[in-house]
Amino acid sequence: MSADAEFAPAKVNLYLHVTGRRGDGYHLLDSLAVFPDIGDRLSVRPAPALSLEVTGPFAADLAAGVDNLVLAAARALVASGREGPAQDGAGAALTLEKNLPVASGIGGGSADAAAALRLLARFWARAGDLTAIAARLGADVPVCLGARAARMSGIGTDLAPPPRLPGAGIILANPGVALSTKDVFAARTGTFCAPPILPAGWGDAAAMAADLATLGNDLEAPAIALCPHVGIVLAALRALPGALLARMSGSGATCFALFATAAAAHAAARALPQEWWVKAGGLPPT
């Protein structure tokens, strides 16, 4: 992106295991997160005060008020400083193009907050510990701050390098239903899963998908119980020509399918129902 704009890619959980629960109620996770070339866009221009305008297809679903994560990130960056132009109530007119559905399991709000930190640190020429600020904003914000593949553990804030990932194609599909993360976790039953042992890397998308097929998303079954449309989306994705793996991301309701190439994903996406939110793109190699 340019100096006055930043891309906020979706976060996709290729697998997600619930490994335990802390005494304070937070669940412990193990997941491999990736970032396709599908996402929101944030831009900024000089202004005397801090403001946020939300545009795009999902603007109506997202409040631009004081509790918006983009504004929270901006205020946190201001509060973290001891010097520089942001100290005395920094001004910036932010515009968020909201292309990702809200409450959909692909970290849209966290991606937007992370993009705000990257963008405003550059716009205000601020130095500081963005990772520490990100961790205070939410469990998914640190991984979104890097916006590159990572293995997540703990409550999601413990990050480690991923296996070597091949380039691949991906389709994201959402039936137009918002799912509450809290409700999905509450509906989950059963034991906890141990973190899997992953290989050092995969040579191609087919090999990666084959290994990932032995894992799963522990939130998929409770999400389907709350929202049967998730199961319908998964069935449609698995039936697409060239689909290597289909799974729900995060706590849903967005699901994904992996393909050998971005071109294959774009071609297959045309067969999905037009009333769903569907985007095709690519995953970069690592």
Q: Tell me the pLDDT tens digit for each residue of 65-88.
A: 656 899 999 999 998 874 444 444
Q: What mean pLDDT value characterizes the chain?
A: 94
Per-residue pLDDT for 32 more than 90?
A: yes
Per-residue pLDDT for 179 more than 60?
A: yes
DSSP 3-state percent helix, strand, coil across the chain (nearest 5): 30, 25, 45
pLDDT of residue 88: 47
Angle at 283 between CA 208 and CA 64, to 5 degrees: 130
pLDDT of residue 84: 44
Q: Residue 205 is which amino acid?
A: A
pLDDT of residue 178: 86
Per-residue pLDDT for 37 more than 60?
A: yes
Report how far residue 102's alpha carbon sits from residue 190's, in angstroms, rounded to the nearest whole number: 28
Q: Which of 57-66, 82-91, 162-171 has the highest mean pLDDT?
A: 162-171
Residue 253: is the preceding peptide bond cis (ω within 30°)?
Answer: yes
pLDDT of residue 34: 98
Sign of torsion over alpha carbons 53, 141, 150, 268? negative
- Enter the tokens of residue 45: 């221009």
Q: What is the mean pLDDT of residues 255-269?
A: 98
pLDDT of residue 23: 87
Instruction: Render pLDDT for 78-122 as a digit per residue (tens, 0 to 9).
Output: 988 744 444 445 799 999 999 999 989 999 999 999 999 999 999
Report how far residue 124's alpha carbon sits from residue 104's, in angstroms, rounded to the nearest whole number: 31
Beta-carbon neighbour count of residue 118 at 10 Å? Answer: 21
Q: What is the mean pLDDT of residues 55-72?
A: 85
pLDDT of residue 131: 95
pLDDT of residue 128: 79
Per-residue pLDDT for 250 more than 90?
A: yes
* Cα-based distances in Å from 124 to 45, 46, 56, 86, 91: 11, 10, 25, 6, 9
pLDDT of residue 127: 75
Q: What is the mean pLDDT of residues 274-286?
A: 97
Which residue out of 40, 112, 140, 218 is catalytically annotated? 140
Instruction: Render pLDDT for 189-203 as a digit per residue (tens, 0 to 9).
Output: 989 999 999 999 999
**Catalytic residue flag (residue 11):** yes
HSE-up of residue 234 (Cα within 13 Å, Cβ side):
17
Which residue out of 11, 98, 112, 218 is catalytically annotated? 11
